[in-house]
């Protein structure tokens, strides 16, 4: 989850399972969107 953007530092701050990580703008291409679904919902889409 993105928790902050610092334009002065040129960095984005994200939280992963309680860990806070800072990414410089030049490294943002290393982040990948992720999605989750429940078993109940996935069974209905068969």
Question: Higher pLDDT residue, 31 or 12?
Answer: 12
- Which residue shows structure tokens 């291409």? 29
Which strands form 11-16's sheet, in the order they lie side by side? 2-6, 11-16, 19-24
Q: What is the pLDDT of residues 5-24, one digit of tens each?
A: 999 999 999 998 899 999 99
pTM of the model: 0.63
3-state secondary structure of 32: coil
Number of domains in the chain: 1
Cα 25 to Cα 9: distance, rounded to the nearest angstrom:
9
* pLDDT above 90: residue 44: no
For the cut 70, the answer to whether the pLDDT of residue 27 exceeds it is yes
Who's near 6: CB < 8 A, 6+ residues apart?
12, 13
Let me know: does 12 contact 5? Beta carbons within 8 Å: yes
Structural domain including 12 reads 2-44
* Residue 41 clears pLDDT 80, i.e. is over it: no
Band the pLDDT of 45: cuts 50, 70, 90: low
């Amino acid at each position: 989850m993105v928790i902050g953007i610092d334009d002065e530092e040129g960095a984005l701050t994200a939280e992963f399972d309680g860990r806070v990580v800072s990414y410089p703008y030049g490294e943002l291409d290393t982040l990948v969107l992720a999605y989750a679904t429940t078993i109940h919902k996935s069974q209905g889409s068969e």
